[in-house]
Each structure stands twice: as C-alpha cells, then as structure tokens.
Copies of this chain bind each other. A is one copy, B any other.
C-alpha cells in the first residue's frame, strides 16, 4: 500500500486522556478512532494487525482440533435464562427488547450459545471429545471503559468451548489448550506472558488460568513467587499469615480510646502492635441488605472477590445506620449484639491477645482471645495476600506482587452449563450422562494493545513481524528525484512480488515527517532510499528497533531485505514451544 493512500490521521501530541502508551500510540498512529466510550473503529493498520493475530489464533486452534463456527452477537434472553445467567450477571450484560418485546442480550461470552449449538451433536458418547471456536464481536457494558483497546465495551474475541465425557479428558485437553496459548503468545511476539491460577468469577467452574502480560500499566495485580515459580491472581492466591510470634494471652479489658476510630489510631494510642489488632470491615448483601461484618488482622485488607465467592452472593460496602446496632469505628467481635453475619478471616487465627472495638463509642477491648472469649469460630480466607507475604506453595516469605494485563484465559467449567441447559449424552452402557466443558478466550484487540504495550519505544510501537501491519516500510526520501523515485518504486514492486506486505511512503514530505510516521506505524523492516547514498549505489536497510542499520548495495537490496524479514520470523519462531 502507498502511504499517500492510507486512510487515517497521525499526529504528534499525546491526547489528554491517555494514561498508557498503547492507548496513546493507537490514537497517534492512526490505528483506531473512538466512536463512543469504550467503542472504537479500526483504521486499516489496526485491522491488519488484528487479522494477523486472528490468523495465528486460527492456526493454533486448528492445531488442537478445534473447529471454527460462528455464534450470533444478539442472543435471545431465554437462552441465558436456561443457564441462570440472565438473572445472575450484572449490568455488564446488555439486555434489551426487540420490536416484538422479546428479551434479547448482546453476547459477552458464548457458553450458552455453544451448548445450544452442540447439544444435538453431543447426544452420543462416540462424538466426544469435541471442541469449537469462533472469532467474533462481543459487547460488555463496562461501567468504566479505559486504557484504549485494553478495557472496552465492544471487542473481538476468540472464544473456544470443548466438551468431554470425563474430567481426565478435559484436563488433558486443557493442557493442550494451555500449550496452544503459550504458542499463540510466543508467535505474537509476547514470550513473557505468564499463566497464573485465577478465580473463575462469573464464568463459573473450578480450575482456571489467566495469561498475564507483566506491565506496570496493567490494571490487574499478580501474585508471584520467584522462589518456587508460584503464580496466581489476587483472588486465587491463598493468604497465609504467620502469627507464631504473637504475645501471650492476657486479660480481656475494656479501655477508653477517645476519638480513635481507625485501627491505626487505636494501636498508636494504646502503643500496641497493629499485627495484634482486629479490625472490622462492614458489607451488605446486594439482594437482602443483610449486614456482613468481616473481622481481620489490622494490617490486612479484604479481597471482595474472595468474600463474594465464599458467600455465593454479591455484596457492597455496608452503610451503617442508627438502627443497625453496629457502632461504626468501634465494631468488634466480643459482645456484638447487632443482627449481622460475622466472618473471621484467617489472618486472626492463632493470635491470643487482640485489641478490637468494644461496640461502644470511644471504647476498645484489649486482651481478646477469640477461642477463650468467644469460642470455636470458623476462619475463612477472605483477605488480600501481601507483597513480602508467605507463598502458599513453598511457604517462604517470597511473595511479590506485580501489575499485569490479562491477555487470555482458560477455564475448566465442569457441568455448570451442560447441566443447567439439559445437555446430555448416552454413554457406552446406555446411561444418560452430563458432559463436562472447558472454555478458552483471547481478546483480539486487547492482544494487539498488549503487544503495543510490551513492544514500543518513545516514538511508537515496534511490531513483531508476525503481527505487524506490514513487514517492510519503504521510504522514498525525494519523490522529486527521478533516480530516487525509480529505485523506490522498483523496490516496492519487487518486494511485493516476493509476497511481502509493503507500505511505501511515496509522499512529498520532509524527512522528519516521514520518519515520525514510519516510527508510529512501527513496521519492523525499513528500506530508506535517499539520493546521497543512492549516488554511491547504496540503500539503507534497518529495523525499527535499530538492532540492524546497514548500507546495502543497490543490487542486493531485495535479497537482503527478504533475508532480514526471514531472520525476524526465525527469531520469533525459535522461541515457540513445540505442540504437545
């Protein structure tokens, strides 16, 4: 393609609302245009990138015998009623009515549609296992879309669904899919994406993993142990707290703590350790407004996803009213008379001498021993794991918390959808059974943004050649110089003949503009045809990342360019794991 014909606008200024680099370059490089909050049109360069990603996705899905199908974007609400998600999913599921007043939804994930499609075929054991995928538009009515293509409302996703007759078979396939995911990220030029154990959330199921690109700009926290290699997201990481060094039991005493509303105030006032304090965090169940009081060690925080998963109910921060019986700022487990459900976090287990609220304004207890003063309680893990905390895998204090962007996920779903939607098969002995499912997603646009985030310099993206919008960028520095133009025209034509995707800057613009645009388009290989070097029979061949900067004899430029393109492919492919 000639750059003079490329629809889109590139510009220099960083847009005000861009907080991450991939968002900035998406706009500055003429890759996307915002249509609405979290909704974008793609210009041709981004369309090319996503198509290259989709090609990799298709090849890798084919590699795990997963066949392409297509589900609708608009689904009848009745299908989501079958699985129960029409009710259980929040506002991010866009519900509307068609002209006949039939409830419809915009698909944000397609488990229901997959079961609907496979239900007939899956009636006999002989057809198992099988696996289907689609690459299609999804819509999720995000409350706060942000960060360009990272968190949007409308997105293109590769979503795959597998069906099995045994947990072992699902696990085996899950491993194959995990391998395919590793290959996908490696092929897309992101070898450093890591797989972390995750919470299954709204999708359901037991075992699941997220594929995380480590990035400071990421919105997710990832729990890592450099010692044993453990990794998980915050929701899935068990918090282990070592309370072995705590002081001995003491007498329970009510003390006056005027104006001490936070646990830090109290510990400072009483000169006691925050590690031996018990704080209260109050929630309410969304459906019933029932109060939930979580007691945990003063220096820990509640992880709301862990709490929600434990309760099997959605909650919101509690609003403490007069007649609730709760005393805000002084809420404690001893002599608690309010009507509420109490949860003890594991971080309190083993502490025998706690400071806590006395359920009376300006009073706290010291010396609380839960076992002695309250009795046997159940301790539940609902707190956030901390940086420097104990690894739940190797037990060392080696936990490191990093930021990351979720680039994909895989789930062992179990029978959540097949059972609720009545999908069954007849096994070899003639018994009716319920198949087991897995599901596997990768957002195409988000992956493109992840690549931009991982591969860029201050001037723009540095696309890995496997996904780059074009492989070679030819710059003709002087359109008005006949020799220069003829050489560039010929290189453009010859490289295309070799099947290479070429963008040709044929514009009559200053060198500064030309190079700035080339940097924003981020094409990995650049051929620069300038009059001075050409007069000496030479043409410049370089890579976007500056690792290669050569003067090549004019007659060798096609061969050398082709060789460089092949080398860049080989570099990426050498890192790709074998298929299992």
**Which chain A residues have a beta carbon within 8 Å of chain B's beta carbons?**
1, 5-9, 33, 35-37, 39-44, 46-48, 50-51, 65, 67-76, 79, 91-92, 94, 96, 98-99, 102, 104, 106, 113, 116-118, 120-121, 127, 130, 132, 136-137, 139, 141, 143, 153-154
Determine the residue in chain B with the shortest Cβ distance to A79. B35
- Contact pick for A70, options B5, B42, B92, B116, CB 8 Å: B42
Q: Are B130 and A5 in contact, CB atoms less than 8 angstroms apart? A: yes
Given contacts A43-B69, A72-B35, A154-B73, contact A8 B98 (CB under 8 A): no
- Contact pick for A44, options B33, B36, B68, B92, CB 8 Å: B68
- Contact pick for A130, options B7, B67, B137, B139, CB 8 Å: B7
Determine the residue in chain B with the shortest Cβ distance to A40. B72
Query: Could you give 9 example pairs across A and B, Cβ below 8 Å?
Result: A8-B121, A33-B117, A35-B76, A36-B74, A39-B76, A41-B70, A44-B69, A73-B73, A73-B139
Given contacts A7-B130, A99-B91, A130-B5, contact A74 B39 (CB under 8 A): yes
Separation of A67 and B36 alpha carbons in the complex (Å)? 23
A239 to chain B, nearest CB (A): 33
Determine the residue in chain B with the shortest Cβ distance to A77. B36
Q: Are A99 and B137 in contact, CB atoms less than 8 angstroms apart? A: no
- Contact pick for A118, options B7, B37, B46, CB 8 Å: B7
Q: Are B113 and A41 in contact, CB atoms less than 8 angstroms apart? A: yes
Q: Are B99 and A141 in contact, CB atoms less than 8 angstroms apart? A: yes
Separation of A117 and B42 alpha carbons in the complex (Å)? 9
Q: Are A106 and B74 in contact, CB atoms less than 8 angstroms apart? A: yes
Extra inter-chain contacts (7) besides given A41-B72, A41-B113, A46-B70, CB under 8 Å: A33-B120, A35-B113, A36-B75, A37-B102, A43-B117, A44-B68, A44-B132
Q: Are A69 and B96 in contact, CB atoms less than 8 angstroms apart? A: no
Determine the residue in chain B with the shortest Cβ distance to A98. B141
Number of copies: 2
Q: A9 contacts which chain B residues (CB < 8 A)?
A: 120-121
From A37, A42, A76, name the one whose CB has the most chain B CB atoms within 10 angstroms: A42
Separation of A8 and B70 alpha carbons in the complex (Å)? 13
A371 to chain B, nearest CB (A): 47
Separation of A261 and B36 alpha carbons in the complex (Å)? 57
Separation of A68 and B153 alpha carbons in the complex (Å)? 22
Q: A102 contacts which chain B residues (CB < 8 A)?
A: 36-37
Separation of A116 and B39 alpha carbons in the complex (Å)? 13
Separation of A62 and B72 alpha carbons in the complex (Å)? 28
Q: A92 contacts which chain B residues (CB < 8 A)?
A: 99
Q: A143 contacts which chain B residues (CB < 8 A)?
A: 99
Separation of A153 and B73 alpha carbons in the complex (Å)? 11
Q: Are B121 and A7 in contact, CB atoms less than 8 angstroms apart? A: yes
Separation of A71 and B51 alpha carbons in the complex (Å)? 15
Q: Are B75 and A116 in contact, CB atoms less than 8 angstroms apart? A: no
Q: A46 contacts which chain B residues (CB < 8 A)?
A: 70
Q: Which 6 A-B pairs have the closest CB atoms?
A: A96-B96, A42-B70, A36-B76, A44-B67, A91-B99, A9-B120
- Contact pick for A1, options B8, B67, B69, B116, CB 8 Å: B67
Determine the residue in chain B with the shortest Cβ distance to A11. B120
Q: A120 contacts which chain B residues (CB < 8 A)?
A: 9, 33
Separation of A136 and B73 alpha carbons in the complex (Å)? 11
Separation of A44 and B154 alpha carbons in the complex (Å)? 25
A445 to chain B, nearest CB (A): 9
Given contacts A41-B116, A118-B7, contact A137 B73 (CB under 8 A): yes
Given contacts A79-B35, A116-B33, contact A69 B7 (CB under 8 A): yes
A216 to chain B, nearest CB (A): 29
Separation of A69 and B46 alpha carbons in the complex (Å)? 8
A66 to chain B, nearest CB (A): 10
Q: A71 contacts which chain B residues (CB < 8 A)?
A: 35, 41
Q: A76 contacts which chain B residues (CB < 8 A)?
A: 35-36, 39
Q: A37 contacts which chain B residues (CB < 8 A)?
A: 102
Q: A127 contacts which chain B residues (CB < 8 A)?
A: 7
Separation of A561 and B74 alpha carbons in the complex (Å)? 42
A158 to chain B, nearest CB (A): 13
From A74, A96, A106, name the one whose CB has the most chain B CB atoms within 10 angstroms: A74
- Contact pick for A132, options B7, B79, B94, B117, CB 8 Å: B7
Separation of A65 and B9 alpha carbons in the complex (Å)? 18
Q: A39 contacts which chain B residues (CB < 8 A)?
A: 72, 74-76
Separation of A44 and B117 alpha carbons in the complex (Å)? 11
A144 to chain B, nearest CB (A): 10
Separation of A121 and B6 alpha carbons in the complex (Å)? 9
Q: A65 contacts which chain B residues (CB < 8 A)?
A: 5
Separation of A139 and B99 alpha carbons in the complex (Å)? 12
Separation of A116 and B143 alpha carbons in the complex (Å)? 24
Separation of A418 and B66 alpha carbons in the complex (Å)? 45
Q: A43 contacts which chain B residues (CB < 8 A)?
A: 69, 117
